[in-house]
Amino acid sequence: MAKAKKTKIKVDPAEAKDRVLKILPILKKTYPDAKIALNWDDSPWDLFVAVVLSAQCTDVRVNMVTKDLFQKYKKPQDYLDVPAEELQQDIRSTGFYKNKAKNIRGAAEKLIRDFGGRMPQTMEELLTLPGAGRKTANCILGNAFGVPGITCDTHVIRLSRRLGLSANADPVKLEFDLMDIVPKKRFGGWTMFSHYIIFHGRNICKARKPDCANCPVAKHCPSANKPELW
Catalytic residue numbers, as ranges: 135, 153
| Integer Rg of the chain from CA | 19
With a CB cutoff of 8 Å and minimum separation 6, the contacts of 15 are 164
Phi-psi region of 95 (alpha: psi -120 to 50; beta: other; left: phi over 0): left
Hey, how many other C-beta atoms are within 10 angstroms of the C-beta on 37? 16
With a CB cutoff of 8 Å and minimum separation 6, the contacts of 102 are 84, 130
For residues 158 and 202, the answer to whether their CB atoms sit within 8 Å is: no
Torsion of CA 67, 73, 75, 79, to 10 degrees: -130
Torsion of CA 76, 78, 80, 84, to 10 degrees: -120
Q: Which of 119, 123, 199 is nearest to 159 (CA)?
A: 199
Helix (H, G, I), strand (E, B) or coil at 134: helix
For residues 13 and 166, the answer to whether their CB atoms sit within 8 Å is: no
Helix (H, G, I), strand (E, B) or coil at 101: helix
